[in-house]
């Protein structure tokens, strides 16, 4: 077998981008707090390379707090039309401020205003409060530049395990597992 799992991910991701009708970059992100209580939610892959898989969030969100306390995570891509999934596990580190600034500048104006207005994961008594906060940010920034909020950044999951799952007839699925071994990878199969 001896494939490079990152090259295999690139190939599968390219196929997903060509065939999946909605959000092929959507991935489930599983974290756990300091007490080990898990939480999972959907986020969007915003970059990947040999260093890992990147997503962005408010650092004060539940996921941000979980990762500050327990910097390890799992990702799951599920591409239903392709009948495939990819599971990634590994340590998490913050992206650089420069990386976060570059990505933040690519977001739509309303998304950037929303990042300033949102107290992500905190209780919101009434939707009108959030909408008023967004309006206040529109007033604050006008037509000018909207810089990245100080508590908004990105994380990179550096894979130590990557599993490629392919659906097969009669639930006789194929599961290929790659595990980090120094600077390289070992590969094997798992029972379905």
Catalytic positions are: 171
Compute the distance between CA of residue 189 and CA of residue 182 in angstroms, rounded to an integer.
20
Between the CA of residue 120 and those of 22, 88, 115, 116, what are the distances in Å?
A: 24, 25, 8, 10
Classify residue 98 as left (phi > 0), alpha (psi -120 to 50) or beta: alpha
Structure tokens at 1: 């077998």
If 0-12 CB within 10 Å is exposed, 13-18 middle and 19+ buried, where does residue 88 land? buried
What residues does 176 pair with on adjacent strands? 164, 189
CB atoms within 10 A of CB 79: 18
Closest Cα to residue 11, out of 139, 138, 164?
Answer: 164
Whole-number Å distance between alpha carbons of 101 and 56:
11
């Amino acid at each position: 077998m001896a494939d490079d799992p990152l090259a295999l991910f690139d190939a599968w991701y390219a196929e997903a981008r060509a065939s999946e009708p909605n959000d092929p970059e959507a991935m489930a992100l599983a974290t756990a707090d300091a007490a080990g209580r898990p939480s999972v939610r959907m986020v969007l892959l915003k970059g990947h390379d040999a260093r890992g898989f990147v997503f962005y969030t408010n650092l004060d969100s539940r996921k941000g707090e979980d990762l500050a306390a327990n910097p390890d995570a799992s990702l799951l891509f599920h591409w239903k039309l392709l009948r495939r999934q990819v599971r990634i596990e590994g340590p998490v580190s913050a992206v650089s401020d420069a990386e976060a600034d570059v990505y933040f500048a690519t977001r739509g104006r309303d998304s950037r205003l929303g990042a300033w207005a949102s107290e992500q994961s905190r209780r919101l008594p009434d939707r009108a409060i959030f909408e008023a906060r967004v309006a206040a940010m529109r007033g604050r920034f006008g037509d000018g530049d909207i810089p990245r909020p100080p508590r908004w950044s990105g994380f990179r999951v550096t894979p130590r395990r990557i599993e490629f799952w392919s659906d097969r007839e009669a639930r006789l699925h194929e599961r290929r597992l790659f595990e980090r071994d120094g600077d390289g990878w070992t590969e094997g199969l798992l029972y379905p």
